[in-house]
């Protein structure tokens, strides 16, 4: 994770307890093992005590969205994931994909109307419910999630 990315979310590089950068191919089968590996490290570092389950689900949803929507499940495409943690600001997770992006404001609510019965379309909603701050950058190809 570059210092510039950390500072945009008020994280100070010299005070990080954890700084991790991982990549994965756009393969659905790669998501769960990566999430487990990242969360094992997060738990060992005690970065988000008591908040691990929310972070784990948000990370899994963000990566799954990047695989399916950002990369079209094309295993030749690469997804980047940065994880940082400090005592003051909590945990920052950034997921980037090489897709065209999207406008999150145009997504229908999964808790209203016909979307309630849909078998998909709840990932962004869940992420927003689970994390304290969620921002989409670079036309929606990059999501920043913070859990304090």
Q: Is the pLDDT of residue 9 over 70?
A: no
% of residues, the chain, pLDDT over 70: 92
pLDDT in tens, 41-52: 999 988 889 999
- Classify burial at 20, counting beta carbons within 10 Å of its beta carbon; exposed 0-12, middle 13-18, buried 19 or more: middle
Q: Is the pLDDT of residue 117 over 80?
A: no
Helix axes 52-65, 123-130, angle to 10 degrees: 150
- Assign 3-state DSSP to the chain and report helix, strand, coil percentages, each to 5: 45, 25, 30
CB-CB contact of 2 with 20 (8 Å): no
The domains located in the chain, with CATH, are: 3-147 (3.30.565.10)
Q: What secondary structure, in 3-state letters, does 83-131 show?
A: EEEECCCEEEEEEECCCCCCCHHHCCCCCCHHHHHCCCCCHHHHHHHHC
At 79, which helix (H) or strand (E)? strand 78-86
Q: How far apart are CA 93 and CA 21, in angstroms?
A: 10
DSSP 8-state class, residue 139: G
Provide the pLDDT for residue 7. 39
Q: Per-residue pLDDT averaged across 70-80, rounded?
A: 97
């Amino acid at each position: 994770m570059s210092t510039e990315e950390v500072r945009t979310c008020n994280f100070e590089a010299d005070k990080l307890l954890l700084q991790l950068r991982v990549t994965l191919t756009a393969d659905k089968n790669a998501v769960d093992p990566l999430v487990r590996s990242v969360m094992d490290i997060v738990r060992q570092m005690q970065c988000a005590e008591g908040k691990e389950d929310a972070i784990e689900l948000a990370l899994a949803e963000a990566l799954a969205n990047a695989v399916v929507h950002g990369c079209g499940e094309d295993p030749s495409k690469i997804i980047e994931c940065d994880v940082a943690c400090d005592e003051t600001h909590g945990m920052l997770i950034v997921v980037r994909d090489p897709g065209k992006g999207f406008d999150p404001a145009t997504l229908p609510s999964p808790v209203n109307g016909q979307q309630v019965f849909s078998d998909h379309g709840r990932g962004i909603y869940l992420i927003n419910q689970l994390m304290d701050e969620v921002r989409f950058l670079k036309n929606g190809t990059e999501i920043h999630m913070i859990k304090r």
